[in-house]
Chains A and B, each alone.
Chain A
Amino acid sequence: MPDDLLNLLNRFARFGATPRGGVRRLAASAEDGAARRAFAEEAERRGARLHADPVGNMFATFFTAPEAETTVLVGSHLDSQPTGGRFDGTLGVLAGLAAASAIHARGVRTRHNITVANWTNEEGARFQPSLTGSSVFTGKMKLAEALALEDRNGRTLGAELEAIGCKGTSPLPLRPVRNLELHVEQGDHLETAGLQIGAVTSSWAARKITIAFIGEPSHTGPTPMHRRRDALRAAAAAITHFHGVMEAAARAHLLHWSAARIVAEPDSPNVVASRVTVWFEIRNPEHAITVQAGDGFMSSLKPEMERQGIAVEIVRDEHRPGTMLDPGGVEQVIGVARDLGLSATRMMTITGHDALMLQAIMPSTLIFIPSVGGLSHNEAELTHDDDIRKGCAVLEAALLRFATEPHGG
């Protein structure tokens, strides 16, 4: 069934489909719920047993080693950006399902069982921070904290998971020995270099700073200009300042940065904004550089904000030092690709992935396949069928190796 995965991808692209070929499947939304149910049904149909943990992570286990209490995880996430692409995350879950069920169907006995995972709220579009499900799984985030996360409308992740019937009660009963994830690159390195497979060695560091600018609400008409403490103006000045500081720092270092989310209150056209929150990100291969760039931004920001009568509140300052993935896994992927006659390279990832989070508690491996034009978080996100077939072949071969070797290879 070489095109099993392509058929699955087409089918799942219908859950939350957008007019221009993307998907809108925000974490724990009705669309996410529909995709989760379809995943559970399809996995059960193929012989897997389903389990959901208390943060809604889904595990579909194929008991290829019925006596073992261990398992190898393979998966990604089914949630998407508000208008996201249909490959980001979904590819990894469905490729995991296709590969695991193919191994299972061949009646292969392995040393460890195989569990296909769908991690909750990887994207962080609806609930911040991102990687919620895998963070709780590794113990980095407390379950209660995750369930209490609120979206823009004050709905909690816990209540929304209940509402779509996806909140389990107990942790995964098997001991995972290894994790494997296939993902689209979301950059254009593979495409530009003409390569087919990327074995990810490590990730860029990221510093994510959420800042609230606090002024005072007043009437946008009569309030004299010099008396206004306008939080939206302050936020705009901060964004342009941030851009300037980062541009200057980028002359010395390879920096990527963004301010991509803004929430203004009370958000009425004729009230001067009293509180505006902005989400900033700084990324570089080196953790120290992201720290230094962030410090430079924040220390130069405060005096200017004080001059405008604006208080600055650091709501969250999250350091994500780069993660080094299991080197053995990288070599396995390179070896598998070579055996299959595919061109492969070792590379870094700039984006965050569940596989990076899971490396905290087990050897973890991340495989990239090319993204057309490097475009992602966009409805037009595309990976060619042929690249998907090759990626799935590498995933299946690597998965089989990991599941049959002691300690998961």
Chain B
Amino acid sequence: MTLIRADEALLARLMEEQAACAATADGGVNRPALTAGDRVARDWLRARFDALGMRTLVDGVGNMLGCLEWAGPGAPWIMTGSHLDSQPNGGRFDGAYGVVAGLTAAAALKEAVAEGRLKPRANLAVCNWTNEEGARFQPSLIGSSVYIGGMPLQEALAVKDAEGISVGAALDAIGYRGAAVLPLPAAFVEMHVECAPDLEQDGLRMGPFTRYWGATKIRVRMTGLQAHTGPTPMERRRDALLGAAYLIADLKELCAEAPDTLHTSVGRIEAYPNSPNSVVSEATMWVELRSPAQDVLIWAEERFNRALETAAQRSGTIGRTLHVECRKAGVFDAQLCNRVEAAMAAEGIAGRHLSTIAAHDAIRLAEICPSIVVAVRSIGGICHNAAEYSTPEDLAAGAQVLVRVLSELVASPRP
């Protein structure tokens, strides 16, 4: 088998094209799932699938697959890809790089197959999973969760955004509610920017994520009493925003008790009625606890419950947990990891094993097939920010590694 190479100019051009879909003035993209911006990116992807001669499949939750069914309908499927949705004013690499690297690799493999340099024994698909980010609709990873059977389709379609618009209605609005039954993969390889500073700190370009952190995501509400902020005597106030402030402040202290093994955050808060002169009667918060160790997560959740009680007592409000979602810590497929490391070695790229703290679609895919994420260096570890950046050289090196791994898997899907 002669060497198959990714076309670096194609990769660069595709990165530019996708970054122009719902671009923001500061170099980022604004493509929360199933918004008009997301639709622009999806339409672009569909056109790229067409141009590469890939058949587009869209399932009931809007997951998009570009398929090269060159090994026949009974053959196994190798899949790659990631997501085109973004945070509000997010970066142009997070997710999109994985889709673009997949397209670039598919183009290279297709050419090799056409020239007889690669004999495919497996079909290849490039994926764009719906609502990976979870910015507009919670939870995150909705598309890949439905795909693996981890979330009922009806439940996913009923999830609503802050404006009360459901996933189902949003899919209809942008014309991406499909009906295709997607094939299931023999392996899933996802390229992604690292979103953390470790590779850069170690002077390395790339590395497979071998482990993923667990996360406990809690939606919690403080309930007080709506009243006028002027005349209401202070001792009679039951201020839900004050309760929320106590809780958020206390959660920060929690990290000091488990340094390096616990990350906590509150990224979203909804206050009601949120009028400057009415005491807040309801404050809802989205809390995250993340750790590589399950026992730390269990401890942190207990500690959170105590903090909630304390915050409620201090503010005279009621604290109530509305929803808890647990994602356990785990490991990615060791054999795929070996393949990635071998490909990196063949490209002369030194790397290291990494743990991912952020969630990826590959974590859901790992429940049904061997799965891995390969991380490419993020400058400054910046992520979920328009200033997110990875160099064209690193992105190209990642695509070369992906081409090697995919061509091996397509040629011999069952090692």
Contact = CB atoms under 8 A, between A and B. Distances in A.
B263 interface: yes
Contacts of B197: 224, 227
Interface string A73-112: 0000000011110000000000000000000000000000
Chain A contact residues: helix, strand, loop or mixed = loop
Contacts of B133: 268, 270
A350 B272 CA distance: 23
Contact of B381 (A222, A273, A274): A222
- Max chain A Cβ within 10 angstroms of own Cβ: one of B195, B231, B248, B271: B231
Contact of B230 (A82, A126, A250, A350): A350
Interface string B284-319: 001010100000000000000000000000000000
B397 interface: no
Contacts of B357: 221-222
B242 A259 contact: yes
Q: How large is the interface on A (under 10, 10 to 19, 20 to 34, 35 or more residues)?
A: 35 or more
A169 interface: no
Interface in B217-240: 217, 225-234, 237, 239
Between A83, A187, A271, A279, the greatest number of chain B beta carbons within 10 A of the residue's beta carbon is seen for A271
B358 interface: yes
A281 interface: yes
A221 B290 contact: yes
B415 interface: no
Contacts of B382: 218
B276 A279 contact: yes
Interface stretch (B46-54, B65-73, B118-126, B134-142): B134-142
Interface in A274-322: 274, 279, 281, 283
Given A266-B135, A269-B217, A270-B140, A225 B268 contact: no
A374 B231 contact: yes
B244 interface: yes
Interface in A250-270: 250, 255-264, 266-270
Nearest to A129: B276
Interface residues of B, number: 68
A160 B276 CA distance: 20
B267 interface: yes
Interface stretch (A42-50, A137-145, A375-383): A375-383
Contact of A266 (B87, B196, B228, B248): B87
A11 interface: no
B282 to A, nearest CB: 10
A151 to B, nearest CB: 11
Contacts of A223: 196, 263, 381, 383
Contacts of A187: 231-232
A124 B275 contact: yes
Interface in B230-283: 230-234, 237, 239, 241-242, 244-249, 252, 255, 263-269, 271-280
Interface of B: 87-90, 133-135, 138, 140, 162, 194-197, 213, 215, 217, 225-234, 237, 239, 241-242, 244-249, 252, 255, 263-269, 271-280, 286, 288, 290, 356-359, 381-385
23 contacts: A81-B273, A186-B230, A186-B231, A217-B385, A218-B383, A220-B265, A222-B357, A224-B197, A225-B264, A227-B197, A237-B252, A239-B242, A256-B230, A260-B279, A262-B280, A267-B88, A267-B268, A268-B87, A269-B138, A281-B277, A374-B233, A377-B227, A377-B279
